[in-house]
A and B are shown apart, each in its own frame.
Chain A
Amino acid sequence: MTAKALSRIAVYAVLLLAALFFLAPLYVMLATSFKDAEQIRSGSLLSLPTSLNWSSWATAWSSACTGVDCNGLKPFFMNSLMMTLPAVLLSTAWGAVNGYVLSHWRFRGSELMFGFMLFGVFMPFQVVLLPMSQVLGMLGLSSSVTGLVIVHVLAGMAGTTLFFRNYYVSIPKELVNAARMDGAGFWQIFWRVIFPLSTPILMVTLIWQFTNIWNDFLFGVAFSGADSKPVTVGLNNMVNTSSSVKAYEVDMAAAMIAGLPTMIIYILAGQYFVRGLTAGAVKG
């Protein structure tokens, strides 16, 4: 065998080992969720479950206990849906309009203001926790899903504006000018020229926002009440609920359920998600 063939094999071996390392937690989560308590205690971490036993998934969804409530993950999952969908749509729409102004209708000072807004993408949200909880209290929105929607829209707006602005900058100015010559106004140009070209960035932003807001824990744990906890907080509380016999198979099923929506989107539209990830790092 030549040295070249050997080095090819080595490259593939390393890549495959890395793939196993990345897949291991997912495999363990899935395998554990199908085992019963007996298999978990007698078998090993990596052993295959003896059957596809969905009972832990059913328990995790509708009857596992969090503290004294035993309604499973379902209520939290529903809260997450009710929080995530409006927050994603609102923050995306807002970002699109902002990005449109900041790319094709610049005025004196608009770039500077945008520069100041950019810090919102990076800043540690710990800084806004205490003031925000006071504001939510004043508005009568403490511990409500509506309050969480508002927080997520405000927190996400800097990022969505950045996404749309950077994308719209690449749309030729001539296109907009031609439409203006034809007598189109601000909104007409947006709807007839800009918006039809926005599909890729719309996908990137919707997926990015959905993943971020669905996965959020900080705002969820700080601002939610008994009836508005999102699924990340529900999962964390469920796993940390002390019971006489710890049901790891139910914990793993619950973790899978909480991760499933973003996972499905990633599998279906991964390239848009990756574009959002890299866009977050390469700005300008």
Chain B
Amino acid sequence: MHRTSDNWLPKLVIAPGFIFGLAFIYGFMIWNGILSVTGSRMLPRYDEFVGLDQYVKLFEMDRWHVALKNMFVFGILYVGGACVVGIFLAIFLDQKIRAEGALRTIYLYPMALSFIVTGTAWKWMLNPSLGFPKLLQDWGITEQPIEWLVNPDTAIYCVVLAGVWQSAGFAMALFLAGLRGIDDSIIKAAQVDGASLPRIYWRIILPAMRPVFFSTVLVLSHLAIKSFDLVMALTNGGPGYSTDVPATFMYAMSFNRGQVGLGAASATVMLMTVAAIVVPYLYSELRSKPHDR
């Protein structure tokens, strides 16, 4: 039995998804691109074409350079930190640990919380006069309370700390799934040959985890480029604009400073950065998995 409706009904059902989905993603992408070549200030306007002036202006701004530098500093330390903590936790958890489930739950719970919630908590913990810095002073470890969060040179590292704390469990979960996917017999064979456990991990298991590392780094990197909430909650881009990142820059220009064209240009740069990382990955994922039916 074959119904004629089976030919057109699926297409009709998916149509809104495709139309609205592609309009939301690519339509708005183009729209934002158009805004970025206009002289829009307080409100979007389309009657003043300025070519690439907004981009030129963007890259002449000190604040944008600070934002880009912070993106790189934060991105590298955040991705690296989360991966290092995550892989150690995953390897240690993989040693037939009692209460593994409970520990995993503890390592991962920050991912269920909003960055605004955890950012608020970290801001309080790093409070120079009442928080952790005071504790260090009371214990006699430092003479003065260290003012990490209010010092423009160190505030970005506070964002890194909170970010790594939030995401290390996520990296751990991905790595642990990878470790569990490795064939036990390879490890057994290496043990029979007399190789020590650290050596087995370093020489055999970690190299076999390359694909997992790759996707973890990719996912964390795109989160790093997009990070917005954590910075807003922890430092609000300050002191001054010392912890601005592209996402907070874009928001400030578009919604607070009446520089819509400039904001659109910065969003385009963010888009390009994410695309440069993600598109090759998506392409290879879609290519490498041949149609399974």
A110's nearest neighbour on chain B, judged by CB, is: B14
Contacts of B44 in A (CB 8 A): 130, 134
Q: Is A118 part of the binding interface, using a Cβ–Cβ cutoff of 8 Å?
A: yes
Instruction: With A22-B106, A28-B125 as known contacts, state yes or no: A126 contacts B118, CB within 8 Å.
Output: no
Judge whether A255 and B121 touch: CB under 8 Å: yes
A101 beta carbon closer than 8 Å to chain B: yes
Most B-side CB within 10 Å, residue of A14, A119, A270: A119
CA distance A222 to B247 in the complex (A): 12
A46 proximal to B (CB < 8 A): yes
- Taking CB atoms, residues of chain A closer than 8 Å to B117 are 215, 232, 235, 255-256, 258-259
Q: Are B113 and A117 in contact (CB under 8 A)?
A: no
Q: Hey, what's the 0/1 contact readout for B266-277 against A, CB within 8 Å counting as 1?
A: 111011001100
Residues of A within 8 Å of B1, CB to CB, are: 180-183
Measured CA separation A61–B254 after assembly (Å) = 32
B286 contacts A by Cβ under 8 Å? yes
Q: Chain B 215-239, CB within 8 Å of chain A: the 1/0 string? A: 1101100100110110011001000
Q: Could you tell me the distance between the alpha carbons of A211 and B113 in the complex, rounded to whole angstroms?
A: 8
B88: A residues at CB distance < 8 A: 14
A45 touching B274, Cβ below 8 Å: no
Answer whether residue B122 sits at the interface, using C-beta atoms and an 8 A cutoff: yes
Binary interface profile of A, 1-44, with partner B (CB < 8 Å = 1, else 0)? 00000001001101100110111111011001000000011001
B260 touches A12 (CB 8 A): no
Residues in chain B near residue A149, CB distance under 8 A: none
Q: A123-B274, A277-B111 are in contact. Are A157 and B20 (CB under 8 A)?
A: yes
A12 to B2, alpha carbons, bound, how many Å? Answer: 62
Q: Which of A40, A115, A169 sits near B286, CB closer than 8 Å?
A: A115
| Chain B nearest Cβ from A55, distance in angstroms | 18
Judging by beta carbons under 8 Å apart, are B28 and A131 in contact? yes
One of B20, B32, B132 near A131 (C-beta < 8 A): B32
Contacts of A71 in B (CB 8 A): none
Best-surrounded residue of A14, A25, A32 (most CB of chain B within 10 A): A25
In the complex, A113→B26 CA distance in Å?
Answer: 12
A116 within 8 A of B: yes
Question: Is there an interface contact between B114 and A126, defined as CB atoms closer than 8 Å?
Answer: no
Q: A102 to chain B: closest CB distance in Å?
A: 7
Known A-B contacts A44-B135, A155-B24; the reply to A130 vs B112 at CB < 8 A is no
Contacts of A80-115 to chain B: CB distance below 8 A: 94, 97-98, 101-102, 105, 107, 110-111, 113, 115
Apart from A105-B10, A180-B6, what 5 extra A-B contacts exist at CB < 8 Å? A19-B103, A124-B267, A169-B293, A183-B1, A282-B215
Residues of A within 8 A of B (CB): 8, 11-12, 14-15, 18-19, 21-26, 28-29, 32, 40-41, 44-46, 94, 97-98, 101-102, 105, 107, 110-111, 113, 115-120, 122-132, 134, 154-155, 157-158, 161, 169, 173, 180-183, 185-187, 211, 214-218, 221-222, 232, 235-236, 239-240, 248, 251-252, 254-256, 258-259, 262-263, 265-267, 270, 273-274, 277-278, 280-284
Q: Considering the complex of A and B, which 6 residue pairs feature the smallest CB-CB distances, nearest first?
A: A105-B10, A215-B114, A266-B112, A131-B31, A259-B117, A126-B267
